[in-house]
Chain A
Amino acid sequence: DAKTTQPPSMDCAEGRAANLPCNHSTISGNEYVYWYRQIHSQGPQYIIHGLKNNETNEMASLIITEDRKSSTLILPHATLRDTAVYYCIVRSKEGAQKLVFGQGTRLTINP
């Protein structure tokens, strides 16, 4: 599975949109982009995933560039409870089903 690169940490003000970037320049055509987050001492929580079209759900929006080499997770109105480590992972639909985690981005929402 392709490797991803994320900034190690980010800060965002409460109520603002949090935009978390992810670089996956070696992504291949059959690989999806998944986003998870992990709040301290809990298991990772699924947020959203996409292939090439932008996606939106009740938690977040996922914007994938046209060349699919990068993506951005958007939390439209960040709250203090969104403070967590956010992981961007690419995974093939076929074959290996496992998720390999990188270091993620530690997002801190400030009051």
Chain B
Amino acid sequence: GAVVSQHPSWVICKSGTSVKIECRSLDFQATTMFWYRQFPKQSLMLMATSNEGSKATYEQGVEKDKFLINHASLTLSTLTVTSAHPEDSSFYICSARGQQMNSPLHFGNGTRLTVT
């Protein structure tokens, strides 16, 4: 089945630094990937839609200059949290859809970001 790999699985960084999270589709090509954020005891919240070769589409309330998304190839999307602050500490999860129109979305195992 379709596999989505996320790296790193966890990261700790100091306030003010930037962190890059990678999302790869391992056995299929993904023209579209999605980035979610999840706070403790809450559901997943969609942050943005990442489109290969074009700009990402951000959900309302998500700062595009703070959460930089790059989808340079059909198998890789990256999310960079710039100038991270403690309130950015969260569980970040990416997903990608298989190539067929009715294919389900498959999710990575998430990245736990802790900003100190």
Contacts and interface: CB of A to CB of B under 8 A. Distances in A.
Contact of B44 (A49, A94, A101): A101
A81 interface: no
B91 interface: yes
A46 B43 contact: no
Contacts of A100: 46
Contact of A46 (B45, B106, B110): B106
Interface in A15-71: 32, 34, 36, 38, 41-46, 49
Range for the number of chain A residues in contact with chain B: 20 to 34
Interface residues of B, number: 24
Interface in A81-111: 87, 93-94, 97-104
A42 B44 contact: no
A101 B91 CA distance: 15
Q: In this complex, which of A43, A93, A99, A102 has the most chain B Cβ atoms within 10 angstroms of its Cβ? A: A43
Given A41-B112, A43-B6, A93 B105 contact: no
A108 to B, nearest CB: 15
Interface of A: 32, 34, 36, 38, 41-46, 49, 87, 93-94, 97-104
